[in-house]
C-alpha cells in the first residue's frame, strides 16, 4: 500500500481551484452554504487549515500551533485561490518528506496524527469547504469519488459506507441527508489511536489500511519479514467487515506493532470488538516469525491491557490460547492474565481491572 496522501491533496486542491476559478467575478461576501462564514472567509479558513497542517507536520508539533492567518483586505478572489493552491503545495511537501511513523499534534480525538491523517484532513477541508463556497455562489460541485472514499476510510472509520461516497461524506459532516440515516448535527473525524510501549508503538489501523492488509498488501507498513503473519490479515478482514456494517469503533480494532528502533512492523494485536455490556473485551495477537522470542508480544500486551483497563467501560480482558501454543501461553501469563477455564483444544485467560 503506497502512500497516496500527497497525490490526494494535490488532486483535491486542483479540483477545487479549477471549479472556483470560474466564479471569481461573483460576490464572495455571500454566505457559504450552511456556514456562518462568507465564501471569502471560508476560502481563507481552508488555506489556513492547510498551512497549519503543513507546519505542524513539518515541525513535529507537540501542541496546537499559535498561528493566525488571513488574506490582505485588498486581495481579490483570484488571490484567495492562489493562496489555497500555495498552502496545498506546502502540505504536499510536508507529507512527502515526513517518515511514516512521525506524528504531530492534532486534537481529534487522540491528540496526534501521522502524515496520512493530515493528508486526509487536508482533503476533507478542501472538499467540504469547496462545497460550501459553491453552494453559496450557486455553483454545482461534486469531487471525484476516489477523494471522498480516501477521506472516509482514513478519518471517518465510524461512518458506515454507502455506494455514494460524496453523499456519505456530506451526510457525515452535517451537510446532507442519506436515506435511512438520522441527520448529523455534531461530528468530528477520527485520527488513529497510538499506544506507546517501551520498544514498540501500537498503531491503530484505518479501514483503508485494513482493506489493503486483508487483500495481500502491506497496509502501508514495512514488515520485518516482508509481509505480516496470516493472523494479521484475518484480523484486518474482521475490521473491514465491522466497518462495512457500521459497527466499527476505531479504538477497539487492530493495532500494528512497530519497532521504534527502525520503524518496522513486527506483528499485530487488538480486540475482537468493543467491550460487551458486562465490560468484557477479547484480545488477540501474532508476530512475524523473525520477531519472536524477543518479548515484543508481552510488552505490547501489557501496554494494550493497561490502556484498556484504565477505561471505565472495561472490567475484564479475555483471551483464548490453543493448548499446543506454549509460547503464546507464556506471553499471556507474563502480561498478567490468569487461566480461568479450558476445553479440549484451548485455554481461556482473563485479566481484571
Domains of the chain: 5-172 (1.20.120.450), 194-352 (3.40.630.30)
The predicted model scores a pTM of 0.96
**Torsion angle of the four alpha carbons 144, 145, 149, 151, in this order, in degrees rounded to the nearest 10:** 30
Q: For position 197, what pLDDT does the model report?
A: 98
CB of 38 closer than 8 Å to CB of 28: yes
For residue 2, the model assigns a pLDDT of: 84
* Per-position pLDDT tens, the chain of length 353: 888 999 999 999 999 999 999 999 999 999 999 999 999 999 999 999 999 999 999 999 999 998 888 899 899 999 999 999 999 999 999 999 999 999 999 999 999 999 999 999 999 999 999 999 999 999 999 999 999 999 999 999 999 999 999 999 999 999 999 999 999 999 999 999 999 999 999 999 999 999 999 999 999 999 999 999 999 999 999 999 999 999 999 999 999 999 999 999 999 999 999 999 999 999 999 999 999 999 999 999 999 999 999 999 999 999 999 999 999 999 999 999 999 999 999 999 999 99
Q: What's CA 353's distance to the chain center, in Å?
A: 28
Question: Beta-carbon neighbour count of residue 63 at 10 Å?
Answer: 10
**pLDDT reported for residue 68:** 84
Contact 203, 194 (CB under 8 A): yes
Provide the pLDDT for residue 317.
Answer: 98
Query: Looking at beta carbons, which pairs linking 167-174 to residues 24 or more positions away fall under 8 Å?
Result: 169/124, 169/127, 169/128, 170/128, 170/131, 173/124, 173/128, 174/34
For 229-246, b/e burial (b = at least 16 CB within 10 A) is: beebbebbbbbbebbeee
User: Using the 8-state DSSP alphabet, how is residue 320 labeled?
Assistant: E
The closest alpha carbon to 71, from 102, 38, 101, 99, belongs to 38
Angle formed by the axes of helices 145-155 and 207-214, to 10°?
A: 100
Cβ-contact 305, 335 below 8 angstroms: yes
Q: Strand, helix or coil at 104?
A: strand
**Cα–Cα dist 223/1, whole Å:** 12
Radius of gyration of the chain (CA): 22
Look at the block and give the residue holding cell 453552494.
Answer: 135
Amino acid at each position: 500500500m503506497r502512500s497516496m496522501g500527497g497525490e490526494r491533496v494535490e488532486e483535491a486542491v486542483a479540483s477545487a481551484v479549477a471549479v472556483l476559478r470560474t466564479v471569481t467575478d461573483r460576490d464572495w461576501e455571500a454566505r457559504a452554504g450552511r456556514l456562518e462564514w462568507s465564501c471569502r472567509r471560508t476560502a481563507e479558513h481552508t488555506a489556513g487549515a492547510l498551512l497549519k497542517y503543513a507546519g505542524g507536520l513539518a515541525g513535529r508539533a507537540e501542541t496546537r500551533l499559535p498561528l493566525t492567518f488571513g488574506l490582505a483586505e485588498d486581495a481579490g478572489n483570484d488571490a484567495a485561490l492562489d493562496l489555497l493552491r500555495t498552502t496545498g503545495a506546502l502540505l504536499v511537501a510536508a507529507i512527502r518528506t515526513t517518515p511514516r511513523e512521525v506524528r504531530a499534534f492534532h486534537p481529534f480525538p487522540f491528540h496526534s496524527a501521522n502524515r496520512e491523517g493530515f493528508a486526509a484532513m487536508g482533503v476533507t477541508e478542501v472538499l467540504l469547504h469547496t462545497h460550501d463556497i459553491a453552494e453559496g455562489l450557486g455553483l454545482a460541485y461534486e469531487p471525484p469519488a476516489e477523494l471522498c472514499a480516501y477521506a472516509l476510510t482514513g478519518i471517518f472509520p465510524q461512518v458506515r459506507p454507502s455506494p455514494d461516497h460524496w453523499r456519505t461524506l456530506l451526510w457525515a459532516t452535517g451537510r446532507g441527508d442519506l436515506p435511512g440515516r438520522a441527520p448529523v448535527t455534531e461530528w468530528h473525524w477520527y485520527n488513529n489511536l497510538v499506544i506507546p510501549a517501551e520498544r514498540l508503538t501500537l498503531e491503530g489501523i484505518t479501514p483503508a489500511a485494513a482493506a489493503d492488509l486483508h487483500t495481500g498488501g502491506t497496509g502501508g507498513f514495512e514488515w520485518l519479514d516482508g509481509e505480516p503473519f496470516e493472523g494479521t490479515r484475518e484480523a484486518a478482514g474482521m475490521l473491514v467487515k465491522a466497518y462495512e456494517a457500521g459497527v466499527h469503533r476505531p479504538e477497539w480494532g487492530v493495532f500494528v506493532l512497530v519497532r521504534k528502533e527502525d520503524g518496522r512492523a513486527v506483528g499485530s494485536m487488538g480486540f475482537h470488538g468493543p467491550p460487551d455490556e458486562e465490560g468484557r473485551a477479547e484480545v488477540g495477537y501474532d508476530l512475524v516469525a523473525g520477531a519472536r522470542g524477543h518479548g515484543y508480544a508481552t510488552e505490547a500486551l501489557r501496554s494494550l491491557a493497561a490502556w484498556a483497563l484504565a477505561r471505565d467501560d472495561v472490567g475484564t480482558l479475555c483471551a483464548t490460547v490453543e493448548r499446543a501454543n506454549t509460547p503464546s501461553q507464556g506471553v499471556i501469563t507474563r502480561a498478567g492474565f490468569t487461566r480461568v477455564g479450558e476445553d479440549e483444544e484451548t485455554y481461556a485467560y482473563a485479566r481484571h481491572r
